[in-house]
Structure 1
Amino acid sequence: MKGDLGDARRLWDSVPSGIAHALRPGIAKVSDEVIEEIQTRIPEYARPSDEIYIKVVRLAVEEAIGRFLDRIEDPDAPWDPEPFRMIGRGEAAEGRNLEPLQTAMRLGARVGWRRLTEIAGPLGLSPQSLYDLGEAIFVYLDQLADAAAEGFDEARAHAAGEMERRRHRLLDLLLSQPPAAAEAISDLAKAAGWRLPRTVAGVALDDQNGTPSLPPDILVGLERPQPCLLVPDPNGPGQPQMLDKGLRGWRAAIGPAVPLERAATSLRWATEALELARRGVLPGGRGPLRCSDHMATLIVFKDEELVGALAASRLAPLAHLRPSQQDRLAETLLAWLRYGRGAGEVAARLHVHPQTVRYRLRQLEELYGEQLGDPDIRFELEIVLRARQAAREGARPS
C-alpha cells in the first residue's frame, strides 16, 4: 500500500495541476457514462426503477472522480479512505461479495481513461503526461479497492460477531431451566439464522484447546462452565458419522435425542455420562460416548448413595468373605442373573470350568437361600452387581 501511494504521488506530481481545473466541469458527464456502463454490464447494479439507489451510485462515482482530481491539484492532501470503506460496508450489507464492486471500479477507470484520451489534444496534454495520468488512475483504483475491501471485511466481521452473539444467547435460552417461552426461542432462532429442529441432543465436552470441526447449524458453547454443543436432529441421515468425525480427538458424551424444549435434560444426561467416563465407569475411548448405548448404567449411577444403600443390603451375605472371594462370587452371580441359570453358559461367559461355576453357585445358594428365588430380589441384585462391576472397572489403572 505504501509503495502504491508513493507511485501515485510521483505520477500526480508529473501531471500539471491545472488539468484538474479543466476536468471538473466534465464530472457530471463522465459520471453518467460510468453509471450507464456499470448498470449495463453488471446485473447487481441494474436498478433503473430505484431512484434512491441510483442516487447513491451517482454520489459514489462523483466522490471517486472528485477525490481523484483533488489529489492532482494537491498531491499532499491527506488520503481519507472512509467514504470508500463505507461503500465496502454497503456491499456487505447488500449480501454481495466484492467482485461486482471491483468490476464496477475497473469499468469506471476504463471510461475515465477513454474520456481522457478523447480530450488530451484540446487540453494540451503531452503523451507522457497522458500516460502518467492514466497510470495514476489505476494506482488510485487500487487504493479505492483496498479501502472498500477493508470496509467490507469490517462489516462482515461485525455481522459474524453479532450472529455469533445471537447464537450464544439462543443456546442460553434453549438450556435454561425452566425452559424459555417457545415464542422467545422462535424469534431469536430466526434472528440467529437457525432453523428450529424437531429434536436436539446436548453434547458435553471436556475443556480442550481449539474448536471442533462441525457444521454451522450446531450451536457451540465452548465458553460455558461446562463446554457443550447442541446438535439439531442428531439421528438424521449422516448425523452420527458427522459427529464422530467432527469430535475426533475430543472426549465427549452425546445425550439422547429429545424434543427442543427438553434440550437441557439431554445435556444433563450427557454431562453425567461424561463424568462417569472420566471416572472410567463408562468407556472413554476414541469417538464420542453416546448415552443411548449406556442408559442402564446411567440410571444405576443416577443416585449412587441409594445404590450404595441397596448394595449394602443385598450384598450383605458376602460381607464376611475375603475380598477375593467376594469378587469371584459377585462375578458369578451377575453372570448367572444375566445369562441364565445353566452352569455351562455361565462358565463360557466367565472363561472358567463348569465345575467351578457349580461350586460357586452352591456357595451362593447357601449364602442367599430362598432369596435367589424372589424375582424382585434378583432384579435388585443385578442392579447393585452391575454398579459394582462398573465401579471396579473404573477404578482399575488404565
Structure 2
Amino acid sequence: MVITSDIPVQALRAGVGTVTEEVIEEIQTRIPEYARPSDGLYLKVIRMAVEQAIEGFLNRIENPDTPWDPEPFRMIGKGEAAEGRNLEPLQTAMRLGARVGWRRLTELAEPLGLSPQTLYDLGEAIFVYLDQLADAAAEGFEEAGARAAGEIERRRARLLDLLLSHPPAGAEAVAELAKSAGWRLPKTVACVALDDRHGMPAPAPDVLLGLDRPVPCLLAPDPNGPGRARLLDHALRGRRAAIGPAVPLAAAATSLRWAGEALELSRRGVLPRGTLRCEDHMATLVVFKDEELVNALAEVRLAPLAHLRPAQQDRLAETLLAWLRYGRGAGEVAARLHVHPQTVRYRLRQLEELYGDQLADPDIRFELEIALRARQAVQGA
C-alpha cells in the first residue's frame, strides 16, 4: 500500500499528546484489567506503549521504507503473559486506540486539507499497522508462555527426582519446589512403571512425567480419588505398565520399586501383559521378592515329587495346590480342575503317601502353597 507524500506528518505529531491522553482514558474506562489509577508505574507503562504505537505509525507514514522494529510490542505481549492474562484485553486496547486515532484523523481531515483518498489510505494503514502490532504481541506472548511452560516442566522434573530419591528428600525442600512448580502436595501417590517411554502424554495436568528416567514412570497424586483410577486406565490403555500401590508422598520411591518389579514379572510372563495393578498381585510380588529363597523352599517342600515323571509332577502339583487353596473336599477340587472327583481322590491318596504327616502341619501347608504358586507362575510364563 502506498501512502501519498502530501500528508502533513509534523502537524499530526503536534497532536500526539492529546491523542495519547484520549487513548489512555478510553482504555482505562473500557478495559477493567488496565484500570489501575493508583499504580503510577503501571500508568507509565501504558503511556509508553500508547506513545510507541502512535509514534511508530507516524514514522511509518513519514518513512514507509524504514524497517519496522516489532520488539517493543513483543515485549508488551510477554508482559501480558507475565501478568497472567490472555491477549484479549491487549487486542481490545489496540482496537480502541485505532478507533481513537481514526476519529482524530477524520476531525483533522478538513483543517489539514486531506483528500478523501488520502484519508482512505490512512485508515487502511491504521488497520494494517494494527495487525502487525497484534502479531508482534502474540509472538511475545507465545514465547513467554513457552518459556514459562518449559521452566515449570524443568521444576516438575526436579520435583520428581526429589520425590523418588533414596533416602527421601526433606519435606521442606519438597514443599518449596512443589510450590514453585505449581504442584499441590497430595497425601498419597502411586507410581507407574512404563515399558515404553514413547508417545506417553500426561494423563492429567497434576501427573508428574519421568519418561527420561532409567525406568520410565509417572507419578499420580491421589490415585484413589474420584475418577483417578479410570483416568489412569484410559491413559495407559494398550501399554505394558504396572501401577504401584498407593503410598504416602514420602514413600513414592517404594511405590515405584514395586511397580518396577511387577513390570519385570510381566515381561517374563509371570504376571499378565498390558496394564496391571500391584494391588491385584501382591501375593505373587511377595513370593518373587527373593526367588533364590523361594527356589530353595521349593526344593525342600517339593522334594517328594522330584522322582516322578514330569507329567505326574504337574498333575499332583496342580491337585495339591487346588486342595490347599479351595479346601479339602474332593468335589470342590474336582470342580476347580474340571476332572472327576474319583480322579482327585486317587491323586490325593498318592500325595498322602508321598508327604505323610507333613500335610497335617499348617506351617508346611503354607510353605507348600508358596512353592506351588511360584511353580505355577513360572510354568505359565
TM-score band, normalised by shorter chain: over 0.9
Alignment-derived partner of residue 318 in structure 1:
305
CA distance in 2, matches of 1:182, 1:63: 49
Alignment-derived partner of residue 74 in structure 2:
85
Paired residues for 1:199-218 under 5 Å: 199-212=188-201, 214-218=203-207
- Pairing partner for 1:296 from 262, 283, 293: 283
Unaligned 5+ residue runs, structure 1? 1-9
Question: 1:347-366 CA distances to partner (integer Å, 9 max, x unpaired)?
Answer: 11100011111111111111
Alignment-derived partner of residue 11 in structure 1:
2
Aligned 8 A contact 1:251 1:284 in 2: yes
Alignment-derived partner of residue 115 in structure 1:
104
CA distance in 2, matches of 1:206, 1:328: 35
Q: Aligned-pair RMSD on alpha carbons?
A: 1.0
Residue 391 (structure 1) shift:
0.9
TM-score norm. by structure 2 comes to 0.98
What is the identity, as a one-letter code, of the residue corresponding to 2:321? L
Aligned 8 A contact 1:98 1:149 in 2: yes
CA distance in 2, matches of 1:211, 1:72: 52
Aligned 8 A contact 1:253 1:289 in 2: yes
CA distance in 1, matches of 2:201, 2:74: 34
Alignment-derived partner of residue 354 in structure 1:
341
- Pairing partner for 1:363 from 333, 342, 350: 350
CA distance in 2, matches of 1:71, 1:363: 102
CA distance in 2, matches of 1:149, 1:251: 41
Q: Secondary structure at the match of 2:15?
A: helix
1:384 aligns with 2:338: no
1:329 aligns with 2:316: yes
Q: Secondary structure at the match of 2:223?
A: coil
Q: Secondary structure at the match of 2:312?
A: helix
What is the identity, as a one-letter code, of the residue corresponding to 1:306? L
Alignment-derived partner of residue 372 in structure 1:
359
Question: 1:214-268 CA distances to partner (integer Å, 9 max, x unpaired)?
Answer: 1101111111121101111111111111111121122111111111000000010
1:185 aligns with 2:184: no
Unaligned 5+ residue runs, structure 2? none
CA distance in 2, matches of 1:42, 1:180: 47
What is the identity, as a one-letter code, of the residue corresponding to 1:371? Q
CA distance in 2, matches of 1:253, 1:212: 16
Alignment-derived partner of residue 133 in structure 2:
144
CA distance in 1, matches of 2:250, 2:197: 28
CA distance in 2, matches of 1:45, 1:294: 58
Alignment-derived partner of residue 3 in structure 1:
none
What is the identity, as a one-letter code, of the residue corresponding to 1:11? V
Q: Secondary structure at the match of 2:214?
A: coil
Residue 189 (structure 1) shift:
0.5
Residue 15 (structure 1) shift:
4.5
Residue 282 (structure 1) shift:
0.9
Aligned 8 A contact 2:191 2:220 in 1: yes
CA distance in 1, matches of 2:2, 2:26: 27
Question: 1:193-213 CA distances to partner (integer Å, 9 max, x unpaired)?
Answer: 111001001111111421235
Of the structure 1 ranges 217-226 and 322-331, higher mean CA displacement relative to structure 2 is found in: 217-226
Aligned 8 A contact 2:202 2:209 in 1: no
1:133 aligns with 2:135: no
Aligned 8 A contact 1:15 1:132 in 2: no
CA distance in 2, matches of 1:15, 1:186: 64
Aligned 8 A contact 2:191 2:245 in 1: yes
What is the identity, as a one-letter code, of the residue corresponding to 1:332? T
Q: Secondary structure at the match of 1:378?
A: helix
What is the identity, as a one-letter code, of the residue corresponding to 2:43? I
**Sequence identity percentage:** 79
1:344 aligns with 2:307: no
Alignment-derived partner of residue 56 in structure 1:
45
CA distance in 1, matches of 2:131, 2:2: 14
Aligned 8 A contact 1:85 1:147 in 2: yes
Aligned 8 A contact 2:241 2:263 in 1: yes
Alignment-derived partner of residue 236 in structure 1:
225
Aligned 8 A contact 2:197 2:212 in 1: no
Aligned 8 A contact 2:331 2:341 in 1: yes
Aligned 8 A contact 2:197 2:216 in 1: no
CA distance in 1, matches of 2:232, 2:200: 13
TM-score norm. by structure 1 comes to 0.94
1:165 aligns with 2:166: no
Alignment-derived partner of residue 305 in structure 1:
292
Q: Secondary structure at the match of 1:11?
A: coil
- Name segments (4+ residues, structure 1) moved above 4 Å: none
Q: Secondary structure at the match of 2:166?
A: coil
Q: Secondary structure at the match of 1:289?
A: strand
Q: Secondary structure at the match of 1:201?
A: strand
Alignment-derived partner of residue 238 in structure 2:
249
CA distance in 2, matches of 1:123, 1:190: 59
